């Protein structure tokens, strides 16, 4: 495929504003299970994405273990096969680094608190 979107199952901690009970739903063991599932989805995407294709990884989590740390592990285990896609701010992306000061490279934590919405994470990688 030229484009794969992994809308990964996650802890949904980015929705705490409207679902405050999320804090009590997750144990360390359950979080580890979901992190393993997320990584398996990322790893399996490598068999499906074509050369030059893009893998987009998204969660509605605020946890680094589900976001930056997860994506960094994926990139590190596929050195020479993947590169991060630069942010699209120049192309009119409303979620630019200016709006999301915590963003790093193409990894964009989308924090919608000022819009009364949820928080999300998006990272993009291109297969070489």
Catalytic positions, written as ranges:
60
CB of 36 within 8 A of CB of 28? no
Residue with tokens 């490279």: 105
């Amino acid at each position: 495929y030229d484009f794969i979107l992994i809308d990964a199952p996650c802890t949904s901690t980015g929705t705490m504003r409207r679902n405050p009970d999320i804090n009590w739903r997750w144990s360390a063991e359950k979080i580890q299970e979901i992190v393993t599932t997320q990584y398996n989805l990322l790893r399996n995407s490598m068999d499906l994405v074509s050369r030059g294709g893009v893998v987009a990884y998204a969660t509605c989590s605020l946890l680094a273990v589900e976001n930056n740390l997860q994506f960094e592990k994926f990139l590190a285990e596929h050195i020479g096969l993947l590169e991060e896609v630069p942010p699209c701010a120049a192309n009119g992306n409303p979620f630019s680094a200016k709006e999301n000061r915590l963003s790093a490279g193409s990894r964009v934590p989308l924090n919608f608190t000022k819009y009364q919405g949820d928080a999300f994470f998006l990272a993009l990688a291109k297969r070489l």
